Amino acid sequence: MVAISSEGGMSIRDVGMVYRRGEQVTTALVGCNLEIPAGNWASLIGASGCGKSTLLRILADIVKPTSGTALIGGVSPAEARAARTYALVSQQSTMLPWRKILANVELGLEVAGVDKADRRRRAEEAIELVGLKGFEQAFPSELSGGMRQRAAIARALTLKPRFLLMDEPFGALDEITREKLNFELLRILKETSATLLLVTHSISEAIILSDTVAVMSPRPGRISHRVEIGFGHDRTADMRDDPQFAAYEAELRHALHGPAPTARPAVHTASTYATA
């Protein structure tokens, strides 16, 4: 059994990724570095195609980096996966169509060998948490895409993972449900002390759910800017009204898009001021 460090977080060190297809070579990532201490929360934001999801997939042991190293709890992603120390929620829900929602949410616990009564209780709690109570006996085909994604989130939460990797998990949800789940996730992160890495296109979501927001440059992707979010871990929806929240948004937009263009002075013609 590989020893997973109780103090180690997630680490990305000089990670590069090159895809080769025949004579075509695509450099997706170059020289990426990010340290996420245990119990901290981080987000990756950037333009589509900049390599955010690739970095997440490297940590999830789905792809191997061309160069550099990635660690979870002080061990390789493959070793962390074998020890079941992290859970992954991807952009698209993956539900077994022949299993009802409750059985789908229980699946991770079933694989982990949790007894039937305990996995049923934990699955029901997670289903209620994501707003799917009453749909336990529905099949995935009977739910909307957003509801299926909520079921996938519930399945990940039942495992109470030490590390949570999330790739646009709330992108298919309406704004009200998305914000509710943002703050429910914060509560769960506090209760479990899980370490989070989130990929998102939403600046406000990144601020709500992060201690550190890492901005990635266009391809080849590299981490070009970091913003430390100083709200602590006792966060409520009122944080949106804090002037510092707007300041973080402005800094991140500037990092993503550059300074806003200077407004041109109005040009007035004689007719503008003409009187009848």
Q: What is the pLDDT along the chain (276 residues), one digit of tens a residue?
A: 444 444 589 999 999 999 988 888 889 999 999 999 999 999 999 998 899 999 999 999 999 999 999 999 999 999 999 888 899 988 777 889 999 999 999 998 888 888 999 999 999 988 987 889 999 999 999 998 778 888 888 898 888 788 999 998 888 777 887 888 888 889 878 878 899 999 999 999 999 999 999 999 998 999 999 999 999 999 999 999 999 999 999 999 999 986 544 444 444 333 333 333
CA 165 distance to own-chain centroid: 6
Element (H, E) at 192: helix 175-192
pTM of the model: 0.83
Please, how many CA atoms are within 13 Å of residue 3, restricted to the half-sphere of its CB? 3
Task: With H, G, I as helix, E, B as strand and everything else as coil, classify residue 218.
Answer: coil
Fold annotation for 8-85+161-256: Rossmann fold (3.40.50)
Q: Which residue has the tokens 């570095």?
A: 33
Nearest residue to 52 (alpha-carbon basis) of 198, 153, 212, 236: 198
- Sequence-separated contacts (24+) of 223-232 with Cβ below 8 Å: 223/32, 223/33, 223/34, 223/44, 224/255, 225/255, 227/251, 227/252, 227/255
- Position of tokens 């707007």? 246
Q: Which amino acid is at 212?
A: T
Residues of the chain with CATH 3.40.50.300: 8-85+161-256
Q: To the nearest 5 percent, what fractions of the chain are helix, strand and coil?
A: 40, 25, 40
